[in-house]
Amino acid sequence: MHNVQLTTNLGNARTLTLAANDWQQSDTGIALIDFQDKADACAGDTKETHTSLTGQVPLASGESITGLTFSIGVPASENHQNQVAASTPLNLSSLFWSWQSGYKHMRLDVAPEGGITRPTDSGFSGTTWNLHLGSTDCTDDAQNGDEVSCGRNNRPDIILTDFDPTQNHVFFDYAALVAGANLSEDSAGPAGCMSGLTDTECSPVFAALGLNLTSGNTDTSLTQSVFSVR
Amino acid sequence: MKSGHRLQPGFWAGFCIFGLAACSDLSQTTLDSDGKIASLFAWNIPDDVPLPVEPESNPLTQAGFELGRHLFYDARLSGNGTQSCGSCHLPEKAFTDGLPVGIGSTGELHPRNSQSLINTAYNATLTWANPSLRSLEQQIVIPLFGESPIEQGITDGNRDEILQRLRDEPRYEALFADAFPDEGDPLNYDNIVKGLASFVRGLVSFSSAFDRFERGETSALSASAQRGRALFFSETLECFHCHGGYNFSDSTTDRSQTFIERPFHNTGLFNIGGVGDFPADNRGILEITGDPSDMGKFRAPTLRNIALTAPYMHDGSFASLPEVIRFYAAGGRNITEGPHAGDGRSNPFKDGFVTGFELEPSQEQDLVAFLESLTDTEFLSSSHIQNPWTDAP
């Protein structure tokens, strides 16, 4: 995520300056939230997770935090860099989205019990239902010195109110994210949603994130149901 | 487009001040005001063929090419140590593998046919269908780290182990140091990608029988191949519209070009359900752009060395050149049954030049003879592009 701002009782939107660590970049304001400890059936050794943001925000006297806004994904200015020379956490190859010259903005791969079938293809047998959110319809090549732009940015803006950092957590609800999807079935292409305009699994997932699948922008007529304050 | 990726004269002048030793490689070319023929690499191509573009961030050098050759043929550069780039790109098959589709290091099938790597330095875009992949440095990240499908299978979990494998190989210390003399510890993934890109960029060939014929050696082509040549460049067959120019592809760029075209074509290979669809895992640049009219559009590959690169098309649909010629003669492919049924000849997104033609059997043979004359045996058998590990002591 990036562009983390705290809204206050004085009506300000104050940028959270992230502490620099392996998961957070203070200069770009990019942070990776990582819930995957690989203690389950995921391939690879168990690993650390990073489930909270740390940083500083200046507040005036009498000013208090009342809300939180952020954008999911890697901002355009950092999304099309030389990935094999990038600094952490943008050096993680599992988040490369190289076919669109960028990064996965969000990745959630799950292994549904009973596997995944495809009604139109009896020979199909999948194990993982993937959600890979990333910018699509990208043009030009950063490695050539071009400025890359993408037709569909697919970076949801999340706005949360009634948030007091001393009392509340931000709750991420995977069940809400896939509530409209059937995890045991796939129509075609990669199992799950890989952000394609014609990927039928993407429609309910994008709607849950408040994203317009066609434009790739946050759609104010949709209400995101995935993030909440608890 | 920015002009930044073209060579700037000032850049080269600066390079030479600080690296005089490297300038000895300039013996075949001289610096001119446009930078159009400036290079540290001995390209060995005819004077009438423009040089390909070199990225400022990775100018081609002999040392970079040699490092890349070692990496290209090194199976240690895959997650499980079983597969190198050269496993799917064999020099004797013009850097293809003879299979309908590629097979990754973990056994996963690639949806697409492994492409020839000859003259990719001239490609306006890379791979079969991606308008934004324009540099080898960007493209090579995909086979190394890609997960859908897995090719080399490098992951966050094994990337350090793979680097250690390369550190343990005695040859690499000097190879990396020669290619990146200004860096203290050059063995890293950035330079691995740059090395691989350098080797592939340097695989440039223009010495087929056809090339000799064009340069005035009339005996280089048989009478049959010469008749096939006339057919190929005729308005009746229309082949040259997509497979034209010195690299036999309309998706070609070089240092002399100001306006770069990046075309893609639907050739009528499928028309599933009569609505223009291609199979779900192979829809061309629609997968990138999301534009419905981009269904089934793929880049026209070079026809150089085409006789060595069967099977053909993006999914290996056709086993032989006569099959491909009959496909174009029919103006597309009619699939009458099965899940892909549909008449590709009437695909609504089909390219306007794929309209069909009639050929006598002898003319088909002539056309095949011409296509066979595009094979550059001399280059493909030359020692400087072969696997360097087979002669290990």
Judged by DSSP in three states, B18 sits in helix
Q: Give the per-residue pLDDT at A101.
A: 84
A146 touches B: beta carbon within 8 Å: yes
Residue B9 lies in a domain: no
Residue percentage of chain B with pLDDT more than 90? 84
Averaged pLDDT of chain B? 90
Q: How far apart are CA A197 and CA A119, in angstroms?
A: 21
- Asked if B290 lies within 8 A of A99 by C-beta distance, the reply is no
Asked whether the predicted pLDDT for residue A125 surpasses 90, the reply is no
| pLDDT for A122 | 80
Q: Specify the DSSP class assigned to residue B381.
A: T
CB atoms A140 and B1 under 8 Å: yes
Range of the domain at A111: 2-229
CATH code, domain carrying B329: 1.10.760.10
Domain membership of residue B309 as a residue range: 209-372
Two tokens at A163? 């948030």
- β-pairing verdict for A102-110 and A96-97: antiparallel
Which residues of A fall within a CB distance of 8 Å from B192? Answer: 84
Lowest mean pLDDT among A4-8, A191-195, B264-268: A191-195
Nearest to B135 among A45, A138, A144 (CB): A144
Distance from CA of B75 to the nearest CA of A (A): 19
Q: B391 pLDDT band (50/70/90 cuts)?
A: low
- The predicted complex's ipTM stands at 0.85
Domain assignment present for B195? no
Burial of residue B315 (number of CB atoms within 10 Å: 0-12, 13-18, 19+): buried
Contacts of B98 (CB under 8 A, 6+ apart): B90, B310, B311
Q: Do B135 and A141 touch (CB under 8 A)?
A: yes
Give me the pLDDT at residue A151, please: 92
Number of domains in chain B: 1
What's the confidence (pLDDT) of residue A210?
96
Both tokens of residue A92?
A: 């993680």
- Asked whether residue B203 is assigned to any structural domain, the reply reads no
pLDDT value at B247 more than 60: yes
Considering its fold, how many domains does chain A have in total?
Answer: 1
CA A180 to chain centroid, in Å, comes to: 18
